[in-house]
Amino acid sequence: MRLRNIKGAREAIANDKYVINEPEKLKGNWKSLFEGDNPIHLEIGSGKGQFLTNIASLNPNINYIGIEKYSSVLYRALEKRREVELSNLYFIRYDAQYITSVFAENEISRIYLNFSDPWPKDRHAKRRLTSRQFLAKYEQCLKKGGQVIFKTDNLMLFDFSLEEAEAAGWKIESITYDLHNSEFVKDNIMTEYEERFVSEGKPIHMMKIYK
Ligand code: SAM
């Protein structure tokens, strides 16, 4: 997602107390940002922030960090975040391909990938957030048994992700090609993209994998 440039978005983000501006400095020490010793969950490509704002409100005992590449999109997420009183949600404006510069081994308990960009051309496969290259980076930051939960409407991307995960030795904890007609829907939190696809009648595919 790329929104039209919002004037002043970069500055507003840099000055927001819920944005970490030099995230590399917290590598290995993210727990110090939050009260207590609660697990840390990430959403990579957090978009306009609906998913994280809702899940963080429902789970005060989990700490959340959203990673978003674009200032104009993160700006919208920060607007959403201001609508609720939360101390367990922070954001970083960052390209997830450098995630291992920001998080140390065993620092993260779960990663959400919601409606990641499909990069349909074969020569761009490495850029998909579920490619084996990205999965190897996630493995470096996740605790043993920590999960990646991936949702998409894109069947080609979903099947590609499944193949990549299996090739890289990840195990499947749950999988469905139709989340909204499955037992897993009761725990589901909708994202902006998901609301749109569901309203168009498209099935949502979901996998939960772990190493
Ligand atoms: N997760 C949201 C949802 O489900 O409504 C947004 C989905 S949107 C299709 C994908 C988002 O991922 C965009 O906001 C995009 O900027 C972000 N993104 C893509 N590649 C990224 C990367 N390498 N690092 C961080 N964010 C990324």
What is the pLDDT confidence band of residue 35, given thresholds at 50, 70 and 90? confident
Nearest 5°: phi and psi at 202? -85, 140
Residue from 115, 135, 154, 202 whose mutation best tests the ligand 1 pocket (most atoms within 8 A of CB): 115
Q: Rounded distance, CA 112 to CA 116, Å?
A: 10
What pLDDT does 73 receive?
Answer: 96
Q: Annotated catalytic residue: which of 117, 159, 178, 187?
A: 117
Please determine, for residue 2, whether its predicted confidence score (pLDDT) is greater than 80.
Answer: no
pLDDT digits (tens, 9 = 90+) for 62-111: 999 999 999 999 999 999 999 999 999 999 999 999 999 999 999 999 99
Supply angle C-alpha 99, 82, 88, rounded to 5: 50
Residue 30 DSSP class: G
Please report, rounded to a whole number, the percentage of residues in the chain having pLDDT higher than 70.
99
- CATH code: domain 9-210 is 3.40.50.150
Sheet holding 40-44, edge to edge: 89-93, 63-68, 40-44, 108-114, 142-152, 205-210, 171-176
- ipTM of the shown complex: 0.99
Q: Are 153 and 115 in contact (CB under 8 A)?
A: yes
